[in-house]
């Protein structure tokens, strides 16, 4: 077990994070949602305390605890009034070492998870995001829904949850991060006393298959009734974390669609007023993650907006960005970088990312230098190499009969599929 500390006496607050290098990528096929269910069941409290008593104890300490599961990590995040740090650490240690795993809690949790899946159908942005990942990654584990599906949740029993916990958490292969009003020495002493680690077990890095693009441009319409507006995502594969051209692509993407001043936002919102927001995002992971544009145009001009986005995308990839755009993006990224580290918890987060997600330490420590070093040639070459204009997933949440014809006519579209929004 490693301990990371970020001290700051600005506010009498402390954040504690217990982080495991295991997330939804470890979900077995057919049992998607296992990592999340495990995290949430651990969160329900330790043995010897009912859930209600556990919650009461947390609340009366002035503490809050949440669990976040990503593809590669599970993080138990707590925040507490400084004066109650020590009792909180005691509770967290109990939680991690001796989770109750009560069958009655598990049954309730599964019903809650299924209800949450249903409630999410109200959220068009989340529907679009989920469908986009399925369209882009197909059968690859990156397409998996972290929350699972009604079917996959039904296949998960308490035994699987205990197994996941035993393999990934109980062995002590976790990191503890502390940020806030506590000195380095004090934090280390406190954490060591509550989380004594006899072995330094290192979590094995999971093997992730290569992601592949589906050839051609494919439209998926998530059909939902009475939509005045659409949620539109257009994208393709982006970058690996350790790609040589990650930073050139980051700078190029920032110039294209990462700011309000970029051509994507200007053409769509400022000139035409077609969408409240228009951004492009570059994700990265062990294998190539997604690059995508996101807009929310009204139904009547959704396809026109998509056509314009495709045109802007082609111009960006084929012609590249200009020198002035490059220096603007570099200035923006370097100058705004202070907001990635203006609180102790943010500084802790980036250190945990290095430890858990395989992000090279230099990306954090030499961020400004890596951004500044990108040349115009690097940026444009990275864009041409990595961003495909031919192989694209185009996902739109809309009332299908209002938009299908227009989307089918978009240039280069190879297929169009309509799926009901509540297909499960």
Partner 1 sequence: MATSEVLIERLNRGVRKRNARLTFVRDVAFGDALRLRRFRLGNGLTVLTLIDRSAPTVSYHSWFRVGSRHERPGKTGLAHLFEHLMFNATRNRAPGDFDRLMEGAGAEANAATWTDWTYYYENAPRDALALLIELEADRMANLVLRAPQVSSEKEVVANERKLRVDDDVEGKALELLYEKAFVRHPYRWPTIGSMDDIRGFTVKDCREFYRTHYAPSNATIVIAGDFNESRALSQIQKHYGGLSAARRVERRRLSKEPPQRAERVFQLPAPTPTEKLLLGYRAPSFLDPDTPALVVANEVLFGGQSSRLHRLFCLDEELALSVRGSISPFVDTGLYEMWILLREGKKKADALALLDREIRRIGSEGPTPLELEKAICQLELSFLHSMETAGGKAEQIGFYETVANDGAAVFERLDAYGRVSVRDVKQAVAKYLRPSRRTRVEIRQRAS
Give the residue with the Cβ less far from partner 1, 267 or 378: 267
Element holding 182 (H helix, E strand): none
Joined tokens for residue 416: 């169009």
**CA distance to 4, 26, 352, per residue, from 197 (Å):** 15, 24, 18
Q: Of these, 48, 122, 362, 366, which contacts partner 1 (CB under 8 A)?
A: 122
Instruction: Note whether 283 binds partner 1 by CB under 8 A.
Output: no
Instruction: Note whether 106 binds partner 1 by CB under 8 A.
Output: no
* Stretch 198-237 residues interacting with partner 1 (CB under 8 A): 224-229
Instruction: Note whether 197 binds partner 1 by CB under 8 A.
Output: no
* Stretch 51-70 residues interacting with partner 1 (CB under 8 A): 51-52, 55-56, 58-64
Question: Least CB distance from residue 67 to partner 1, whole Å?
Answer: 12
> Residues touching partner 1: how many (CB under 8 A)?
64
Q: Taking the C-alpha atoms of 150, 415, 410 and 393 in order, what is their torsion angle to the nearest 10 degrees?
A: 50
Joined tokens for residue 243: 């790609």
Q: Of these, 1, 3, 67, 121, which contacts partner 1 (CB under 8 A)?
A: 121
With left for phi above 0 and alpha for psi between -120 and 50, is residue 45 left, alpha or beta?
left
Give the residue with the Cβ less far from partner 1, 78 or 290: 78
Instruction: Note whether 189 binds partner 1 by CB under 8 A.
Output: no
Give the residue with the Cβ less far from partner 1, 182 or 392: 182
Give the residue with the Cβ less far from partner 1, 80 or 285: 80
Question: Least CB distance from residue 51 to partner 1, whole Å?
Answer: 7
Q: Of these, 67, 81, 364, 413, which contacts partner 1 (CB under 8 A)?
A: 81
Instruction: Note whether 79 binds partner 1 by CB under 8 A.
Output: yes
Strands (E), 21-146: 63-69, 74-81
Q: Of these, 103, 200, 338, 423, which contacts partner 1 (CB under 8 A)?
A: 338
Q: Of these, 192, 193, 336, 415, which contacts partner 1 (CB under 8 A)?
A: 336
Instruction: Note whether 50 binds partner 1 by CB under 8 A.
Output: no
At residue 4, φ and ψ (nearest 5 deg) are: -120, 135
User: Which residues have a Cβ under 8 Å from the Cβ of 373 and sit 6 or more positions away?
Assistant: 247
* Stretch 383-412 residues interacting with partner 1 (CB under 8 A): none
Instruction: Note whether 7 binds partner 1 by CB under 8 A.
Output: no
Joined tokens for residue 311: 């045109």
Q: Taking the C-alpha atoms of 422, 212, 367 and 355 in order, what is their torsion angle to the nearest 10 degrees?
A: 80
Residue 291 pairs in a beta bridge with 236, 282
**Cβ contact 397:124 at 8 Å:** yes
Give the residue with the Cβ less far from partner 1, 103 or 207: 103
Residue burial 278-314, b: 16+ Cβ < 10 Å; e: rest: bbbbbebbbbbbbbbbbbbbebebbbebbbbbbebbe
C-alpha to C-alpha distance for 74 and 23, rounded to whole angstroms: 5
* Stretch 261-280 residues interacting with partner 1 (CB under 8 A): 261, 266, 269-276
10 Å CB burial of residue 372 (0-12, 13-18, 19+) is middle
Instruction: Note whether 89 binds partner 1 by CB under 8 A.
Output: no
Give the residue with the Cβ less far from partner 1, 183 or 193: 183
Instruction: Note whether 76 binds partner 1 by CB under 8 A.
Output: no
Give the residue with the Cβ less far from partner 1, 195 or 256: 256
C-alpha to C-alpha distance for 82 and 88, rounded to whole angstroms: 10
Instruction: Note whether 259 binds partner 1 by CB under 8 A.
Output: yes
> What is the binding site for partner 1 (CB under 8 A)?
8, 10-13, 51-52, 55-56, 58-64, 79-81, 108, 111-112, 115-116, 118-119, 121-122, 124, 224-229, 259-261, 266, 269-276, 296-298, 328, 331-332, 334-339, 341-343, 345, 422
């Amino acid at each position: 077990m490693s301990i990371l500390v970020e001290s700051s006496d600005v506010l009498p607050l402390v954040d504690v994070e217990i982080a495991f290098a295991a997330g939804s990528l470890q979900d077995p096929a057919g049992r998607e949602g296992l990592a999340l269910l495990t995290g949430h069941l651990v969160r329900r409290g330790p043995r010897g305390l009912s859930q209600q008593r556990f919650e009461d104890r947390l609340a009366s300490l002035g503490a809050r605890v949440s669990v976040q599961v990503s593809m590669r990590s599970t993080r138990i995040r707590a925040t507490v009034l400084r004066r109650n740090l020590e009792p909180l650490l005691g509770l967290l240690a109990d939680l991690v070492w001796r989770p109750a795993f009560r069958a009655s809690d598990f049954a309730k949790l599964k019903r809650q998870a299924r209800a949450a899946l249903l409630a999410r159908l109200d959220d068009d942005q989340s529907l679009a995001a989920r469908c986009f990942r399925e369209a882009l990654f197909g059968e690859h584990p990156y397409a998996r829904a972290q929350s699972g599906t009604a079917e996959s949740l039904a296949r998960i029993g308490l035994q699987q949850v205990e197994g996941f916990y035993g393999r990934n958490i109980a062995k002590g292969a976790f990191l503890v991060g502390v940020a806030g009003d506590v000195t380095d020495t004090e934090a280390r002493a406190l954490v060591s006393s509550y989380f004594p680690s006899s072995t330094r077990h290192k979590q094995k890095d999971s093997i992730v298959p290569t992601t592949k693009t589906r050839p051609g441009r494919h439209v998926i319409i998530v059909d939902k009734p009475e939509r005045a507006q659409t949620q539109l995502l257009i994208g393709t594969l982006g970058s690996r974390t350790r790609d040589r051209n990650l930073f050139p692509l980051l700078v190029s993407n920032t110039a294209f669609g990462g700011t309000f001043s970029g051509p994507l936002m200007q053409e769509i919102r400022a000139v035409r007023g077609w969408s409240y927001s228009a951004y492009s995002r570059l994700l990265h992971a062990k294998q190539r993650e997604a690059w995508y544009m996101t807009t929310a145009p009204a139904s009547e001009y959704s396809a026109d907006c998509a056509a314009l986005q495709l045109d802007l995308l082609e111009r960006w990839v084929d012609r590249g960005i200009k020198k002035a755009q490059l220096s603007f993006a570099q200035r923006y990224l370097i100058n705004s970088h202070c907001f990635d580290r203006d609180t102790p918890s943010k500084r802790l987060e980036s250190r945990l990312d290095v430890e858990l997600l395989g992000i090279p330490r230099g990306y954090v420590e030499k961020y400004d230098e890596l951004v500044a070093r990108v040349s115009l040639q690097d940026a444009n070459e990275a864009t041409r190499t990595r961003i495909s204009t031919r192989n694209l997933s185009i996902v739109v949440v809309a009332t299908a009969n209002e938009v299908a014809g227009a989307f089918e006519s978009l240039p280069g579209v190879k297929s169009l599929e309509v799926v009901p929004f509540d297909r499960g």
